[in-house]
Structure 1
């Protein structure tokens, strides 16, 4: 995939960026940047792609994204307001040598991995509070808050690894795959065939399958499955719709197929998943 290389700018008074992005600046295509990213969702919900990971996101979700790890946050509804508090920093924004200190071992270990993480439980709450405080601080206090956040993440186990040591081949692959992803986001609730998407890429089906897997690290139908299950999860947790209706609304024509794929992705049935979120 030809990944968009996003340029992150800071003002001269700080070594890293901490700002709120809101619609339309919140919306981005599949992109990457050398800076590491901490992103706290403030408004909106939708689908997130980080490396080869696809799932849903909602308000208060908090992600850590390694430098040069491609990602994409896409709202479920075009007219919805999307907003996030985002921190961008490089691994040398504090100068040379700091991370070599023995006290920085946890941070050094965190930044050496090309991972995407979703923070959970108490860690998510603590980091979210620190990020919001960081937005209001300046200078030394702001930098110390960033180091404190990274230190806490590095020492914790309260996160889910979404993608691990993902290698992006985007700089050498035809950008048509971005068109395929955009099409899939718009049409995953409908019947989609390999012949249809291969024709969009002007390839034979076998060539398209190899092309897609090389870039996204999963088959096209696994990618489509993840989009559909992500949508189903959102409906299961935010509506009282019958599960059979959710099955059909998520692009499935068969309950048995939906149930099997849901369990393959979430390791539990749709009804078990919904019960986890009942008040």
Structure 2
């Protein structure tokens, strides 16, 4: 399997693009493109694969990806049309002219663009600030959009609330990207089953011990921790979109024990299942 160069088209008379996608993403092959990309998840859950790392994403998450960085975002397979809403912003480094970001006043933004070669997760107050800016930007006129984007980049360049998403830039080998995608694809379709380490290690064509080390390196979590997060994301969706009892949600999400489900739910969301449902349905 090879990475795909994705050709992005700008709207007519636009310097960059900002748009919402409400279709579940089921792409199988990681891609890259010369444009920089902001991904802002407004609704839904799934997986973001960035170079050699894999992360679960959920509502509110915001990431900034550099030019030609291999990535793949995929919604969990049970989502349907209108269950998902993601805001994308794409721009090229020269969208304001070939040397614009090389001028002295833009030095901090140029440094940010270089940091984005490994992908950046935006956290804390900066995430809230930029989320508000994007919600206004998408409704603005073309000239105002340019000012908003520069303001976003300026705020991001000054922020200390950024986390690198990958250890490697786009010059890295593609093998890890493809293998992590294969592992997550299997998990997303079988998380309700009783998956054991031997089984998932076989999917990755690794010994059990080698898989554990590999998975921890690329997710910063143990396999059981990551699998529990996938299950809890599904449980959150069921709590909001169905009238299932907590017990039903527990077993529909792949847990065998209600006690363990409640414990994992509280650990991951900081809320009880009843509290989560109440908070999101008020």
Q: TM-score, normalised by structure 1?
A: 0.74
Aligned-partner SS, 2:147: helix
Contact between 2:192 and 2:254, CA under 8 Å: does it hold in 1? yes
Q: 1:100 to 1:275 in 2, by over 3 A?
A: farther
Q: Quote the offset at 1:121 in angstroms.
A: 4.7
Q: State the partner residue of 2:194.
A: 191
Deviation string for 1:18-51 (max 9, x for gaps)? Answer: 4455647x44346353533223557x73423354
Alignment of 1:244-259 (within 5 A): 244-259=247-262
Unaligned runs of 5+ in 1: none
Divergent runs of 4+, >6 A = none
Distance in 2 (alpha carbons) for counterparts of 1:108 and 1:225: 39
Residue 65 (structure 2) pairs with residue 66 (structure 1)? yes
Deviation string for 1:167-215 (max 9, x for gaps)? Answer: 2465243834422211110111221111212222333211222333333
Between Structure 1 and Structure 2, how many residues are aligned? 265
Contact between 1:232 and 1:247, CA under 8 Å: does it hold in 2? yes
Q: TM-score, normalised by structure 2?
A: 0.73
Alignment of 1:1-279 (within 5 A): 4-11=3-10, 15-21=15-21, 23=23, 26-29=25-28, 31=30, 33=32, 34-40=34-40, 45-49=44-48, 51-57=53-59, 61=60, 63-67=62-66, 68=69, 70-77=71-78, 79-81=80-82, 84-94=86-96, 95-98=98-101, 100-102=103-105, 105=108, 107-108=109-110, 110-111=112-113, 112=115, 114-117=119-122, 121=128, 123-133=130-140, 137=142, 140-153=143-156, 163-168=163-168, 171-173=174-176, 175-279=178-282
Deviation string for 1:45-95 (max 9, x for gaps)? Answer: 3423354431434xxx46232222734131443653556442112445433
Q: Quote the offset at 1:10 in angstroms.
A: 3.8
Q: 1:165 to 1:120 in 2, by over 3 A?
A: closer
Q: 1:126 to 1:141 in 2, by over 3 A?
A: closer
Aligned-partner SS, 1:173: helix
Q: 1:174 to 1:268 in 2, by over 3 A?
A: closer
Aligned-residue CA RMSD in angstroms?
3.6
